[in-house]
Amino acid sequence: MCSCSSIFAGAGRRGCGPAPFALRLSVLICGLFLGFALFSEAVRAEESQIGGWFGQWLRGQELAAHQRLLDRIEQAGAGPTAFVSDGCSGGFSENWARLAEQSPYLRERHGAELPFEPCCVIHDRAYHDIAGASSALASYQARYQADQALRRCVEDVGQNRSADLSGHYGVSEDQLHAAYAALAKIMYRAVRFGGGPCTGLPWRWGYGYLEC
């Protein structure tokens, strides 16, 4: 199989020369992986308060998007729509509910809703009305704080459930803490990556307002 580098360097060589459509698809996939990797580095820089060039550029781009959102809100002259939430986005809550409906054990042991679904609803409330922010910087900071709060909330759910789950599944509380911490980090990076304003996505920052 051709690597990302060989797609560019080896295109047209025998055994490493995909058809034009396959080449474009391969480049797109490589680009997505590269973009997510670069964004993950920016998130790590943001977490440690170390700003590299990419982190600074990304921050500038997002601040500009926050300003466009605020301009759109001012132009519309109306408040946000009525609050709605799909729980944990990406089909997380929906698929859990479907499984719980089909599995009495899952429903009785863990509930019909995700154990940390309230964390996602609280997070959605901030995203819905931009936490009342009135400047681009305040909006940017409010989104960052909402994402951090989501991460802490999921970790806290793991802490609160660890004693019960540890005895039930025969694993240590430390292992459960680590599992929930890993899940919280994945969710945090997902919302940092895909939750910015003016993206057109249904879970974007400011989804209670018109698209900007």
Show the 3-state SS of 43-105.
Answer: HHHHHCCCCCHHHHHHHHHHHHHHHHHHHHHHHHCCCCCCCCCCCCCCCHHHHHHHHHHHCHH
Half-sphere exposure of 176 (CA within 13 A, CB side): 18
Whole-model pTM: value is 0.75
List residues bridging with 16 in a β-sheet: 13
Structure tokens at 152: 């802490």
pLDDT for res 141: 97
Amino acid in the structure at residue 137 = L
Distance of alpha carbon 205 from alpha carbon 192, whole angstroms: 10
Mean pLDDT along residues 26-50: 46
Residue 109: is its pLDDT beyond 90? no
Q: Which carries the bigger pLDDT value, residue 5 or residue 40?
A: 40
pLDDT tens sequence across 138-158: 999 999 999 999 999 999 999
Q: At what angle do helices 20-47 and 173-194 cross, to 10 degrees?
A: 110
Mean pLDDT along residues 104-110: 86
- The torsion angle over the Cα atoms of residues 77, 83, 87 and 89, rounded to 10 degrees, is -20
Lowest mean pLDDT across 5-19, 73-87, 149-163, 186-200: 5-19
Closest CA to 155 of 185, 189, 132: 185
Mean of pLDDT over the chain: 81
